[in-house]
Amino acid sequence: MSTSVVLPALGESVTEGTVTRWLKKVGDSVQADEGLLEISTDKVDTEIPSPVSGVIEEILVDEDETVEIGAVLAKIGDGSSAPAEEPAAEEPAAEESAADEPAADEPAQQEAPAASASAAPAASGDAKDVVLPELGESVTEGTVTRWLKQVGDDVAVDEPLLEISTDKVDTEIPSPIAGTLTEILVQEDETVEVGAVLARVGSGAPAAPAEPAPAAPAEEKAPEPEAPKAEEPKAEEPTPAPAEAPKAEEPKPAATQAAEAAPVEDGVTYVTPLVRKLAQQHNVDLSTITGSGVGGRIRKEDVLKAAEAPKAEAAPAAATAAPAPAAVEVSPLRGTTQPMSRLRKVLASRAVESMQQTAQLTTVVEVDVTKLANYRDAVKASFLEKTGDKLSFLPFFALAAAEALKTFPVINSTVDGDKIVYPASENLSIAVDTERGLLTPVLRDAGDKNIAQIAHEIADLADRTRNNKLKPDELAGGTFTLTNTGSRGALFDTPVVFLPQSAILGTGVVVKRPGVVSVDGKDAISVRSYVYLALSYDHRVVDGADAARFLSAMKARLEAAQFEGQLGA
């Protein structure tokens, strides 16, 4: 049989090559992977190796001729037919000897299996090595990125077996013969040098003719089956010979290889490995594409266009089939004009009055509350069980603020004409968002209460504020305001100070993000919990340094997270 030598894929966008020099001529013997010819492309100059060992029977492309990828360059025979003719001439003598000397049957029977065994690989091709060919100038190695076939799979001549990646090209390695992939020697992601054996492919049916051969010696004319193979006139003498000859020839015809190779392209014009890979990635059936290249060749652009077509068609359907977003809640106030409520008028008047009569600015600090978050997570379940109240961050912020107000009472002060009044208690106004507007019920004597008491009173005040059940005096007497804007997801804001108070603290949302910490004296990155504390204050009585000292005291208290003795639950 003969094997076609084709021009393999030589890199992305390379579609043709020019034969610059033949290294062998017709009649020369070659070894598998021995260089046959030199090819030049617009990107690389390289040698094309022989896919099999044998004899060059035909050269189909002359030097300086340019052909496309996949074109047949030459044909190589296995060289078994020529040597077989010489022994064939001597076989009649062997037959006469066998007829005259019946005692010689036993040696003849022993020689027949050996002859059959040696002939089988030559006739069937047996297993062929698939090696990593040269893939360009200076390319010395390649990495197996993906096996396209598995052991036991049938392959046709030039059908891609695997994908190889190098520092210059990504390409596919084809099978040198039709048959079965019998062994994979290099695994995916493994890097090997050019010339390394990647796999072995059996020619399809080497075992079938080999097994009946040993049975032949059972016949008295056992030596005669070899004769018909080399000398057809003797074919009518032995009866087993016609049966064995077709078996030995089954894998040999080139037409069979062509028939096996045809399904690889599904009946379409030859496509490059790059185009075939692209079609596989986009689930495009090449048989449905009309190529726009020369001779109807399918190009990369054709595959991409075919891949986009279903998406464009499916886009309108997908848009209608996609789940509808949640309906936008439209307020009944949209498009209307409403008079201000009494509460809104009071808030508006006080806000403007405060901004006109005071000099306000805001100072912000960042607090690492990782320890506090861990402590809260550890006790919140038992806290809820014992007190019936949920444990949020706000009670900790309130207690830390009340303690800092004791140390820095100017933040808790009020202005009375040209005098500064320092209250004897820390009464925290807690901002509560209601349907009617912002209200600030007062948590009295916060500096003298524990976490459980603060948590319970804040929850009670908020509930009664939203249900309009507060008593008038519960909204009066606050000395410092705490607004938890983080409950709505805000990082921080610049809250407005309401007279007669001198300051208001805004607490942002607690967020997790990477932070730098010290581990054994060295800096390290760790997931931390952070919160921003924003203090707005009346600069008439509170200086920036006062604000910084107050916030620093809160920061140290919260980062230490030592609230065990004040949990109260």
Give the active site residues.
539, 543
Q: Which of 6-20 are b and which e, b meaning 16 or more Cβ less than 10 Å from the residue's Cβ?
A: bbbbbbeebbbbbbe
What residue type is assigned to position 316 of the chain? P
- Tracing tokens 């390649």 back to the chain, one arrives at 142
Q: And the tokens for 349?
A: 């008047």
Q: How many CB atoms lie within 10 A of CB 76?
A: 26
Q: How many CB atoms lie within 10 A of CB 138?
A: 8
Q: And the tokens for 356?
A: 């006109």
DSSP class of residue 501 equals B
Q: How many CB atoms lie within 10 A of CB 167?
A: 12
3-class state of residue 529 by DSSP: strand
Expressed in percent and rounded to 5, the helix, strand and coil fractions of the chain are: 40, 25, 35
Whether the Cβ atoms of residue 388 and residue 455 lie closer than 8 Å to each other: no
Q: How far apart are CA 186 and CA 390, in angstroms?
A: 61
Whether the Cβ atoms of residue 344 and residue 535 lie closer than 8 Å to each other: no
Closest alpha carbon to 406 in 553, 535, 544, 507: 553
